[in-house]
Amino acid sequence: MSPRTEPLRTCTGCKQKRFKRELLRIVADPEGRVIADLKGKLPARGAYVCPDRRCIEKLDKGQLIHVLKRDSLLDNGGFELSTVVAAALRERVRSLIGMAQKGGKVVSGTNLVEAAMRRSPNRRWLALIAEDASEAIVTKLSARITAGGVPLRRFITREDLGMAIGKSPRSVLLVKDAGLARAVEEAINRYKAVCVREVS
């Protein structure tokens, strides 16, 4: 799409106009539960917000009720929009990894990842090391992965990485599909922007 025709939306938090694809879409389901519509396709009135904790925190429940034109919204067990968005982004990362696994594009486990990195590392892959991986594994693998020019991110737990591919806990995995690798990295970047407080 050319820049001229690309749709713009206004962030409900900071009121700035940005490309629609850069913003997060928030909707409510028929019961009034707030959902992060990461694919932007749910058939409900949506509110747009920058994938940034500062903008998300500016949205209170009353404002969302107004923008989404609802009578009320459920509390999601304590109304915390950033928690809803973070959970959806974590789930998105897990489902993208699952898709890569189904397509035979995931290598997991310390030994296999090391072997893959020795053979023919590709900078369009993505390496994920679990946040709770042992320091020994982190030291050993991150040097090799970085030397191979493969982007490396720390994300979710060993148990979650394993679950994403239907296996036992994994400290490390490689996504070897360029498109899915990029999608996973983008979702992780958004997650960090939403969850990590700005140090200013």
**Sites of contact with Zn ion (CB under 5 A):** 11, 13-14, 50, 55
User: Please, what is the minimum distance in Å from the beta carbon of residue 58 to Zn ion?
Assistant: 8
User: Please, what is the minimum distance in Å from the beta carbon of residue 59 to Zn ion?
Assistant: 10
User: Please, what is the minimum distance in Å from the beta carbon of residue 13 to Zn ion?
Assistant: 4
Task: Report d(CA 47, CA 32) in Å as an integer.
Answer: 14
Q: C-alpha distances in angstroms, 92 versus 106, 109, 148, 149? A: 16, 21, 27, 25
Minimal CA–CA distance to 109: which of 17, 173, 51, 27?
173
Minimal CA–CA distance to 180: which of 108, 97, 112?
97
User: Please, what is the minimum distance in Å from the beta carbon of residue 57 to Zn ion?
Assistant: 11
Q: What's phi and psi for 31, nearest 5 deg?
A: -80, -5
Q: What is the CA radius of gyration of the chain?
A: 19
- 3-state secondary structure string across 96-122: HHHHHHHCCCEEECHHHHHHHHHHCCC
User: Please, what is the minimum distance in Å from the beta carbon of residue 43 to Zn ion?
Assistant: 24
Q: Which two tokens stand for residue 125?
A: 């892959």
